[in-house]
């Protein structure tokens, strides 16, 4: 599925992507909306969770235990910020970027680095998850 992610991303970005190129929030959302992204901790390789991007301003996040929460997405300059129902931290912001062909996000508060390990059209399965 990684090749699908790279194919989709390549269609949205210029063909010559250099190492560690920051991605504008709009470009990231153009890739993500209508899809489900899997986030893996870049250091440990463990799955952090999956997020279905329903609209440019709404997502459903499922953590590694399968627990889900709705998220409101805000663009703040170069940052994508997520305000989840169960943890509405206004500082939960991320910078998306590419590094040698890998799509990553970097937390602005914890400096945690996560890799997008899969992109699919499969919905997040949660009780009561919105459909649009």
3-state SS of 86-121?
CECCCCCEEEEEEECCEEEEEECCCCCEEEEEEEEC
Q: Where are the domains of the chain?
A: 2-12+23-120
Please provide the size of the chain in residues: 132
CATH architecture of 2-12+23-120: Beta Barrel (2.40)
What percentage of the chain exceeds 70 in pLDDT? 81
**Longest distance between any two alpha carbons in the chain, whole Å:** 42
- Averaged confidence pLDDT in the chain: 84
Write down the pLDDT at residue 92: 94
Region of poorest pLDDT, from 24-28, 48-52, 54-58, 125-129 = 125-129
Q: What is the pLDDT of residues 92-111, one digit of tens each?
A: 999 999 998 899 999 999 99
50 vs 130, more confident: 50
Residue 31 confidence (pLDDT) above 80? yes
In 3D space, the residue among 46, 108, 123 whose CA is nearest the CA of residue 74 turns out to be 108
Confidence bin at 63 (pLDDT 50/70/90): confident
**Placement of tokens 């992109």 in the chain:** 119
Q: What is the CA radius of gyration of the chain?
A: 14
Confidence bin at 7 (pLDDT 50/70/90): very low
Q: Which two tokens stand for residue 5?
A: 């992610």
Write down the pLDDT at residue 127: 65
């Amino acid at each position: 599925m990684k090749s699908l992610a790279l194919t989709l991303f390549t269609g949205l970005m210029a063909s010559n992507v250099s190492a560690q190129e920051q991605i504008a929030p709009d470009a990231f959302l153009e890739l993500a909306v209508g899809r489900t992204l899997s986030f893996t901790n870049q250091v440990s390789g463990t799955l952090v969770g999956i997020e279905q991007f329903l609209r440019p301003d709404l997502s459903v996040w499922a953590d590694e235990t399968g627990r889900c929460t709705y998220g409101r997405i805000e663009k703040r300059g170069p940052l994508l910020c997520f305000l989840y129902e169960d943890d509405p931290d206004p500082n939960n912001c991320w910078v998306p970027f590419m590094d040698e062909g890998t799509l990553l996000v970097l937390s602005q508060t914890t400096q945690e680095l996560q890799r997008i390990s899969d992109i699919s059209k499969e919905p997040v399965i949660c009780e009561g998850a919105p459909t649009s």
